[in-house]
Structure 1
Amino acid sequence: MSSLPNQTLRPLRAVSGVFLFLWIMVGAGFAQEPAAGSAPLHGPPSPFEPLPSEKPSSQLNASGKLGRIAREWRDDKLVWETGAGRSYALPVGEILLYEFLLNMFDRHFVEPMDDYKTNGDTIWKNLTDPHWVVDNDQFKVNQFLHPYGGSVYYGLARSSGLNFWESFLYSVGGSFVWEIAGETTNPSINDMIATPIGGTFLGEPFFRMASLLLEDSEGKPGFWRELGAAVISPPTGFNRLVFGDKFATIFPSHKPATFLRLQAGGTISSSSRNVSSAVEETGAVADFTFSYGLPGKPGYTYKRPFDYFDFHVTAVTANVLESINSRGLLIGTDYAYGESTRGIWGLYGNYDYISPQVFRVSNTALSLGTTWQTWLSDVVAVQGTALAGAGYGAAGSIEATGERDYHYGLTPHGLLSLRFMFGDRVMIDLTGREYYVSTALATEHGWENILRGDSSLTVRVYDRHGLAVRYNTSHRDANYPNISYKDQTVGMVSLMYVLLGDSGFGTVEWR
């Protein structure tokens, strides 16, 4: 529950394209008048503009006025508690510039280039006579790259001082503009779900983790913390870099109880059925888990969306991104049961992407559920989460069966996760997930049912260092015509080095 060490947060997220993003966005300043009723602020004069006493007001040109407005806007520092200093205009300019330059890049370097050669005619057609479709982009493009792009839209608004719901609307707006003006193809229904909603459920954890890294320092964050925050949340790092003191105020975390675990090691296939010969039997694996706002800490409340969230990502040599899962409490409250149990319950937002080599599943969903901790004895505790809900998901085999090798549909899902902590020495994790890509709102006739199980045994050896044995299994049962693989199973065993955060196993003490 204490501070997050810098050395454990540096590898939080290997975000590709950070430096490209910063290059694209540098210089994207957008001036805004101070909010009505705000106190007049006086910043240092610009070296490029004479002081008012040096030049009569009648000779003050438009450039000078804009310079003065920009200086006053920059000096109107953000105050998170009141919202003073936030900007609604800045992220509009940033998002539009980002999309314009992204379109310029795509039309010269991404095939098919003609899909990005938009003009007034294509924009007008998509705006006035749109034919919304479910597109045929690759699974990883639709189900991961689009949500990550949505997290950029969201992050630009969030780091400009806007709240969760306001930033979500900016992500919706950015997604809509891209569908209409970023591509010549028909606008995509599935992108308008995965990009803004999935992007929000990714973007808020990115923003919170970056802010917590900046907050956990004495005085002004140093270079390495600023760099780490920019890697985790590039929009946050960009706004802090370009606008300096304007957005120097760090988002207040209210000191949540946290759990951090980094793992790295080797993996070997333990079982498989109906899989292609291309499956890699051995490889390397890296895994990161971060929980924020674990229930039970005295004085901590859940008034803001994602005051509790759990974020998890696994990378393997076989297919790079093996899984990424994010869930957070959108609306809810805490509860207590006797002296041994503390918990929260309410409406959760979920984003899941799972790709165990032979098939893939992804879901953007809402769920009802609870997260809790119970003391089973003086030294043994269990933390758990139980969720059930539905979203718009996609699944399919890796083997191509047509132009799109996966299927969309309304996707009910369930999750049960348990973590047993035996003092500060041994921890057992058990997590089960199920996704049913149904025939409702489906793109093809048929259904898929996917089960995913994860288990691990962790032993702390010394200080925050430990070893873990992990086993995960994934099973897919599909009922679609003209597909080669309908009943698939793959299991993997991993031996991993473990680095824990300062909170150890994350056990919350309130007794």
Structure 2
Amino acid sequence: MYGSATTTLKTPAATPQGTDRPMHRMTFRMLFMGSVFACALASPGPAPAAEAEADTPERVLVPFNPGWQLTPDRFDPYLLAQDIASATDVTSPAASTPTDTPVAQLEGSVKSEARPNYALPAVEIIGFNFLLNRFNYHFIDKPVYDTSLQTIRDNLSAKWVVDTDPFAVNQFMHPYQGSVYFGLARSSGLDYWKSLGYTFGGSLIWEIAGETGPPSINDFVTTGLGGTFLGEPLFRMANLLLEHGGDTPGFWRETGAAAISPPLGFNRLAFGDRFRAVFQSHNPATYSYVRFGWNKIDDALDGIVGQTVKRDTATVDFHMSYGLPGKNGYRYTRPFDYFDFDFTATTANVFENIMSRGLLIGKEYTAGDNYRSIWGLYGSYDYISPQTFRVSSTAVSFGTTAQWWISDNVALLGTALAGVGYGAAGTIHGQGERNYHYGATPQALLSLRLLLGERVNVDLTARSYYVSDVASTEDRGTERIFRGDAAFTMRIHGPHALTLKYNASRRDARYPDIPNTLQTVRTVSLLYTYYFGDARFGAVEWREAGER
């Protein structure tokens, strides 16, 4: 029935689907990848050493405090949230003056920084691959992970293929695995581009020596590129949490940073003062919130097979925009000095979406007194999985992100991107276990946020993906995916707000040997929203008082 908690969608004809490996295998693998590093949180680290003279402006040495002797107020989650809010408020006078920020104060007190270590991440990546292989051998699939010198020799001469692992393994677990490689290199003092090389190196080692099957092209792309596009936002968010903790980040900040970026937490604890330097954010303008609430599927149509959907689910969203344009003195000289990160989980399918996009190479530009923008080459990783279908892409795009003050209290913020990636989508029955289709994926994004003073904002986002038959093992069909969101938010008091959100997802699949397929899911959500330090929903104020 329409109003029931679960509904079986009936269709005129059913097409057999492939059989994925049991989902618990993917869960075990994900838990292990984090637990290799999370075990370091069980004990405090060594005492901090004395500070010395600084020789580089990029990283700040912050002594480690495991938190066992913190005062009770440092453990109060509400006070912690307020601390984050005050440190990231983009509209406060303190935030607009770099010399008054906590970052600048830390820079003035720093005396030393460790040099980048090139050998350590190589050793750590090899060790991580070995431990992951042994875990998978004992708990996931012995034949697949029963590697030997002979399988390594075979893979060195084998032809690269597109593998048949389940969608979540290829499109989420491999990018997350790549983010671990990337995080190990970044937290050892290496910059983005050098860490990118280590990520591809770790992926290559895994493809040759981590599994018995032939090396996989799609895994190499999603682990190497997707891992960095996901890993850099995780690395920066973890460091931002530490950076605003002052000279001695407390227990909750250290734990939170390790949860966001386990490789960072591991290196900070395992190697003492050597890697406790905090990455300098240069005080970006940020906009972040968390939402909790209820989803109801308003309409669902499935044109392939009968599927059961949960119409009523609980949901949690997290969003962060980092490096918003218009901040006086902030420059875009490093990859991901601007990025957007979104994560949504529901009780229906756990990971509803994980999306990350950031400016790889670009610069600022202005148009008049009321317009500030950045433009250039962006990198993105998207994983979107409504209950009836899914799409994922690792891509590069050209585009722009801008803010325009329409009037004294009304602003329009937006991003427009167009590019191409390597993506996967669908629920079709392919070869082996695959029930999705790979291919070169042209894609586009348009995101707008209208701010009406400090009380109301309206968000509109549209994403489009075309998973083609180019660079695909199945050159017989295509997938067109559209996802649109509209959200109306009203601030109730301080950081507290209510949000009404509407989401529509659509899949149009066309293959010569099966009927054309149309799947749609439309969802209405009522959400409580908590904002971290954004008095004006992320609007950056660069105008002088007399110009408003």
Question: Where on the TM-score scale, by shorter chain, does this alignment land: which range?
Answer: 0.7 to 0.9
> What fraction of aligned residue pairs are identical, expressed as a percent?
56
Match of 2:263 in 1: 235
Candidates 375, 379, 382, aligned match of 1:352: 382
Match of 1:120 in 2: 149
Match of 1:53 in 2: none
Displacement, 1:82? 10
Candidates 384, 399, 404, aligned match of 2:434: 404
2:297/2:522 contact within 8 Å kept? yes
Displacement, 1:219? 1.8
1:486 aligns with 2:514: no
Candidates 409, 426, 440, aligned match of 2:470: 440
2:307/2:388 contact within 8 Å kept? no
Match of 1:385 in 2: 415
Displacement, 1:402? 5.9
Q: Whose RCO is larger (CA < 8 A, sep 6+)? A: 2
2:510/2:516 contact within 8 Å kept? no
DSSP 3-state at the match of 2:451: strand
DSSP 3-state at the match of 2:329: coil
1:201 aligns with 2:217: no
**What are the Cα deviations for residues 254-312 of structure 1, in whole angstroms up to 9, with x where unaligned?**
00000001001011011122263411111111101000000000000000000000000
2:164/2:432 contact within 8 Å kept? no
Number of residue pairs aligned between Structure 1 and Structure 2 = 447
- In the superposition, the TM-score normalised over structure 2's length comes to 0.78
Paired amino acid for 1:477: D
Match of 2:527 in 1: 496
DSSP 3-state at the match of 1:486: strand
Measure the CA separation in 1 of the matches of 2:399 and 2:119: 37
1:15/1:232 contact within 8 Å kept? no
Q: How do 1:54-453 and structure 2 match up within 5 A?
A: 85-111=115-141, 113-127=142-156, 129-274=157-302, 276-397=306-427, 403-444=433-474, 445-453=476-484
Measure the CA separation in 2 of the matches of 1:24 and 1:245: 15
Match of 1:57 in 2: none
Measure the CA separation in 1 of the matches of 2:183 and 2:133: 20
Paired amino acid for 1:313: F
Measure the CA separation in 1 of the matches of 2:413 and 2:487: 15
Paired amino acid for 1:123: I
Paired amino acid for 1:267: N
DSSP 3-state at the match of 2:461: strand
**What are the Cα deviations for residues 17-69 of structure 1, in whole angstroms up to 9, with x where unaligned?**
53343349999xxxxxxxxxx99xxxxxxxxxxxxxxxxxxxxxxxxxxxxxx
- Cα distance, 1:218–1:110 mapped onto 2, change above 3 Å: same
2:114/2:277 contact within 8 Å kept? no
Instruction: Report the aligned-residue RMSD.
Output: 2.3
Show structure 1 runs of 5+ residues with no match. 1-13, 28-37, 40-78
2:445/2:464 contact within 8 Å kept? yes
DSSP 3-state at the match of 2:308: coil
Show structure 2 runs of 5+ residues with no match. 1-29, 44-53, 56-108, 544-548
Measure the CA separation in 1 of the matches of 2:370 and 2:261: 37
1:466/1:499 contact within 8 Å kept? yes
- Cα distance, 1:182–1:473 mapped onto 2, change above 3 Å: same
Measure the CA separation in 2 of the matches of 1:321 and 1:164: 27
- Cα distance, 1:104–1:473 mapped onto 2, change above 3 Å: same
DSSP 3-state at the match of 2:310: coil
Measure the CA separation in 2 of the matches of 1:418 and 1:296: 16
1:80/1:252 contact within 8 Å kept? no
2:114/2:275 contact within 8 Å kept? no
- Cα distance, 1:170–1:25 mapped onto 2, change above 3 Å: farther
Measure the CA separation in 1 of the matches of 2:483 and 2:112: 43
Measure the CA separation in 2 of the matches of 1:81 and 1:344: 34
Paired amino acid for 2:148: N
DSSP 3-state at the match of 2:345: strand
Match of 1:60 in 2: none
Candidates 37, 46, 53, aligned match of 1:21: 37
Match of 1:467 in 2: 498
1:80/1:161 contact within 8 Å kept? no
